[in-house]
Amino acid sequence: MSKPTAADAELVLRLYEIRRDPELRKARQWLISEFKATTWEEVEAQYLTGSEPDRFFRMVTSYWEMLAAMVNRGVLNEDIYFDTTGEHVVVWNKIKAIVPGARAKIRPTYLWNLEQMVRRHLAWRESTYPTAEAVIEAGSQLSRKGPKPPKPLKIKKAKKRSR
């Protein structure tokens, strides 16, 4: 993957801004804390009813599928994206059980982009963790050869003044 650009950073910030939208924030919270379906049939019966949960379900899944398509197609550098978020992995884990049924009833590619991005993100974590661990242990934020963090300041206790 190519080096992240300023445009990648701007897009990550813009996507974060969108995630802060009050409705999307409410929908994301709902999906993570209240969505309980484990089959597509349950989704159809309980959530695809024109209700607020229906809207929330569609809003969250379409947001992450759209974002995943951008990462998968190289519109957004995956390294900078994977470095800065992981909520899509939580969302995928919450809904992955319903995907086979949805693919059978709706289309074979339902949430395919999200699934592929999550798989790559998990592999990315596995491949980068040893380096990150070594960097952290070496005390550098950027590289093993980078500067050591400053030593903590030793603060001398002030002498008590006599009155």
CB 60 within 8 A of CB 95: no
Query: Alpha helix (H) ranges present in 20-111?
Result: 22-33, 40-46, 52-72, 78-84, 87-95, 99-105
CB 78 within 8 A of CB 124: yes
Domain ranges of the chain: 6-138
* pLDDT tens, the chain, 163 aa long: 588 999 999 999 999 999 999 999 999 999 999 999 999 999 999 999 999 999 999 999 999 999 999 999 999 999 999 999 999 999 999 999 999 999 999 999 999 999 999 999 999 988 888 777 777 777 755 554 555 555 554 555 555 555 4
Count the neighbouring beta carbons within 10 Å of the beta carbon of residue 52.
12
What are the percentages of helix, strand and coil residues in the chain, rounded to 5?
Answer: 65, 0, 35
Of residues 91, 26, 86, the one with CA closest to residue 61: 91
